[in-house]
Structure 1
Amino acid sequence: MKFYDRVKELAELKRIQRLSFEDHSRLTVLTGRRRIGKTSLVMKSVEGLPTVYLFVSRKSEAVLCTDFISVIARELDTYVPSEIRTFASLFRYLMELAARQPFNLVIDEFQEFYNINESVYSDMQNIWDQHRLKSRMNLVVSGSIYSLMHKIFESNKEPLFGRADNIIKLSAFEIPTLKEIMHDYRPKYTNDDLLALYTFTGGVPKYIELFCDNNALTVDEMIDFMVRENSSFIDEGKNLLIEEFGKNYATYFSILSSISGGVNTQPEIEAALGDKSVGGQIKRLIDDYDIIVRQRPILAKEGTQAVRYEILDNLLRFWFNYFDRNRSLIEIKNFAALRDIIKSDYPTYSGRMLERFFKQQMAESNLYRNIGSWWEARGAQNEIDIVALKLEKNQAVVVEVKRQRKNFKPEAFAVKVEHLKQKVLPKYMIEQRCLSLEDM
C-alpha cells in the first residue's frame, strides 16, 4: 500500500530535522500503538538523508552493540571501534560524530532498553546534556508500549524527563483518508464497506494494508479474511496488550471483555467479575495504558454517577467481542461458525460503530466545541446518540443514528429532544437530525 496522509506529522518532523542540522541536536519522541505506522512515518521523513536506524531487540547489550556498529559503519561510511560493548559508549561516539557531520539517528522500540539495561536511560541523559548543544543530531526515538514510553519521558522520576523537544503521538487515519484508500483500491465501494473498514481497523494503517493487499474490501471479504486458520487477527489483541499488562493481564482482559460486550459501568463490571473490586485497574486502563475512556453525558459535572467506560481502539473492541469471547471455537478450528456469528451480528454491531463514525466525522469538521452522547443515570428511554454543541453560542445539533433511515421515528425522537432541552439545554437552539449509512 502506498504512503497516505501524515502531512502535519511529516511537516513537523522535517521542521525539527532542519533545526537539528542547522542549529544543534534535538530529540523527538514518537509514540502510538503497534501497527500505527511509526516506523514508516519516520523513514519517510528522513528519505535521502544520512540516517542510522537502530532497532532495539531483546538481545544482550554487547550483541546489540555489535549489530549496531555494522549498521552505523555502513550508513555513515565511517569507522566505528569494534571493541565497543555498551550502548552508552556507542551513543557517546555518535554524539561526538554528530559534532562533525549532521545525521538522523532513529531508535525504534526504545522502551526495550528496560529489559536489556535500564541504566541506558541515565547514561543517555548525561551524554545528551553534555553534547547536544555542540552537535547536530536529529534523534528520533519511537516505541509502541505506551505505558513505558509515557514513563520514560513524562515521569519526573525518570532521567530522560524533560529532555524531549517534541512528543508526537501518532493516531489512526482520519475518515477522509479511509475514503481515499477505498476509492483507490475499491472504486465501487459501498458505504457499508467503508463502515466495515472503519469498524474492523479504526483507521490503523497496518490492518488497512492487509485488507488492501489481499483484495478484501467488502464486508464479507473482510470478515472471511480475518476469520480463518493462521489469520494474524486471531491473536492480535493478546499480542498488542500482553506486554503492556505483564503477568497480571487476566484481570485487565476480563474488564475489557466486559466493556466490549456492553457491561460498561463499574458496578456492572465488578458484578460480572464476581464482585471483584477493579477501580484501580480501570484507572490504569485510562491513565497509564490509554485503552479505555470514561464517558459522561454531555455537560454532566465531574462527579456525576452516570459514568460509562468505552474501549477507544476499534480493533481491540472487535477482538474482545468476537475473538476473545469465542476462543473455544478458535481452539477447535471452527472458523465457519465464528464467521456466521460475526456476519449475523454485523448489522447490530456496526450500527453502534456508525455512531462512533459520525462522532469522529463531526469532530474532524472543526465545527463543534463539544461532542458526546446524553443519557439519564436511571433508565435509557431518553438516551440520545449524539449531542454536538456548535461553535456559535447556544446552538446544538442533536442526532439519532440509524443504519437504515426508514427505522427513524421522528415523533418519538422529538419527545426525547424536548426532554433533553428541558434538562440540559434550555437556552439552546436545537437542530434535529437523523444520520444513516447514506450520510457517510
Structure 2
Amino acid sequence: MLYFFVAKKNEILLCEEFLQEIRHKLQVEIFGELKTFKSVFGYLMELAKTKHFTLVIDEFQEFNTINPSVYSDMQNIWDSQKGTAKINLVLCGSVYSLMSRIFEHAKEPLFGRATSRIHLKAFTISTLKEILADYHPNYTNDDLLAFYLITGGVAKYVELLIEEQAFTFESILNVILIENSLFLDEGKNVLIDEFGKEYGNYFSILSLIASSKNSRVEIESIMEMQTGGFLDRLESEFNLISKVKPIFAKPNSRSVKYHINDNFLNFWFRFIYKHRSVVEIGNLSYLKEIVKRDYQTYSGRILEKYFIKKMIEEGNFSAIGTYWEKSNQNEIDIVAVNDLEKSIIFGEVKRKKENISIAGLKDKSRNLEAQLKDYHSEFIGLSIEDM
C-alpha cells in the first residue's frame, strides 16, 4: 500500500515525497525526474499493470489549491488505463464541500468515476457506551451525557478525550478550556477552508443556531440581512445543519428550525466562538464558569438529541421527530411512530425525572392524537436515569 498525504506545499516538493514512498514501499527503481503529479500518477498506473497495490491519497481536495489541473489529468490517465491497471485507488478528504464537488458535480472531471463512497459517520450510542466501559468502567450517566455532548461519537474527539483520561464533565472541561488546547481553534481549523472569505457570516449564523436562535426569522432579525442562501448552503453544500420541521408537517410548511449536526461544533459555537474575546485574553477560567452556569439547560437539549438518536438506532420506528404548533405552542420533545403496529410514542425529556409531567404531555399531544385516531398512544418520560 502507498499512502500519499497532500500537504499545502509546492507540487515538485510533494512529488519528491511521493517518489520516496514509492521506492520504499514498492521496492522499485525510478529513472528520470517526475516533477508533476500527472507524471507520478501516470507512472503508477503503468506500474499497476504488473504490480498490484492500493494507493491512498489523503486530503485529496488540497490539489484544488496546489494545481487544479490534477483532476483532469487523472481523469484522462484513469479512463485510458483503468481496464489494464490492477490498482485499488482510495481518495480521502476532510473538506466535505470540496470532496462533494470533485466527485458529484456534473461539470467536474472526476464526476461519475467513483465506484464506492464512504461518508464517515460518528460512533453509535451503543459503541460509545462500549468505549466508555473499556476506559472508565464505573462511568455514570452524567459522564455519558458529558462525553456524548462534546464528542457526539466523532472518533477524533473520542480519541483526544481518552488520551487525556477525561471522562467526567469537570475533567472534560479542563481538557477543552486550557491554554494551547487543540479544541479552542477546532471550529476555525475545520471550517475556514470550507467557507472561504465569507466565513464571518457563516460563523455568525452557526453561533446563533447554537444559542437556540434557530429560526430564519430570528437569525435575520439579529443579523439584519437575508440569510436564506447561507442557510441553504450550510445544509446542502456543507452538511453542517439540518432543517427540522414538526413531524407530519407538509413539505411546504414554513414552520422550520435549524440544528447544527455535529455536537462539538454546536458546543464550540455556543461557548467558545460566542465568547471569543474571553478566549483571546486567555481568561479560560472565566469561560469555564460560563459553561458551568449554562450546562444544565444546554445539556438538557443534548439529552433530547441523545434519546432521538438512541431510538433511531434501535430500529423500531418508521418515523421519529419532534413536534410543535404555531408560535412554538404544544412542543413535544419526541414523537416516535410505528406504522406497522399502528402505535405512537409521545416522549418528554428532562434531566431530572421529577420535572417530567405526563399529564402535561398528554395535554400537548391532543391535536396530534386526533390526526392519528387509529394509532395506540403511549406516553413516556425520559431522564438522565434512562440513558
TM-score by length of structure 1 reads: 0.86
What pairs up with 1:66-215 in 2 under 5 angstroms? 66-215=16-165
1:307 matched to 2:259? The reply is no
Paired AA for residue 383 in structure 1: E
Other-structure match for 1:261: 211
Other-structure match for 1:396: 344
Paired AA for residue 402 in structure 1: K
Contact 2:346 2:379 in 1 (8 A): yes
> What's the RMSD between the two structures over aligned residues?
1.0
Contact 1:98 1:136 in 2 (8 A): yes
Structure 1: unaligned runs, 5 residues or longer: 1-50
1:433 matched to 2:380? The reply is yes
Counterpart-to-counterpart distance in 1, 2:15 and 2:339: 54
Aligned length: 387
State the 1:425 CA deviation: 2.5
Q: Which is further off, 338-347 or 285-294? A: 338-347
Contact 1:295 1:310 in 2 (8 A): yes
State the 1:288 CA deviation: 0.5
1:343 matched to 2:280? The reply is no
Counterpart-to-counterpart distance in 1, 2:17 and 2:226: 47
State the 1:346 CA deviation: 1.2
Percent of pairs with identical residues: 48
Instruction: Name which of 243, 266, 272 aligns with 1:323.
Output: 272
Paired AA for residue 401 in structure 1: V
Paired AA for residue 342 in structure 2: N
Counterpart-to-counterpart distance in 1, 2:90 and 2:167: 35
Residues 95, 196 of structure 1: alpha-carbon distance in 2 compared, 3 angstrom cutoff: same
Counterpart-to-counterpart distance in 2, 1:149 and 1:320: 24
Counterpart-to-counterpart distance in 1, 2:261 and 2:306: 12
State the 1:82 CA deviation: 4.5
1:58 matched to 2:8? The reply is yes
SS at match of 1:217: coil
SS at match of 2:83: helix
Contact 1:69 1:82 in 2 (8 A): no
Contact 2:346 2:361 in 1 (8 A): no
1:283 matched to 2:283? The reply is no
Q: In the TM superposition, what whole-angstrom CA distance separates every residue of 1:364-413 from its partner, at most 9, and x where no partner exists? A: 11111111000012243x11000011152421111101111111112111
Q: Which is further off, 209-218 or 242-251? A: 209-218
Structure 2: unaligned runs, 5 residues or longer: none
Q: Which is further off, 413-422 or 97-106? A: 413-422
Moved over 3 A (4+): none
Q: Using CA pairs below 8 Å that are at least 6 residues apart, which structure has the higher relative contact order?
A: 1
Paired AA for residue 369 in structure 2: K
Q: In the TM superposition, what whole-angstrom CA distance separates every residue of 1:319-349 from its partner, at most 9, and x where no partner exists? A: 0000011112112211111111111211111
Other-structure match for 1:377: 326
1:245 matched to 2:195? The reply is yes
TM-score by length of structure 2 reads: 0.98
Counterpart-to-counterpart distance in 2, 1:411 and 1:81: 80
SS at match of 2:82: helix
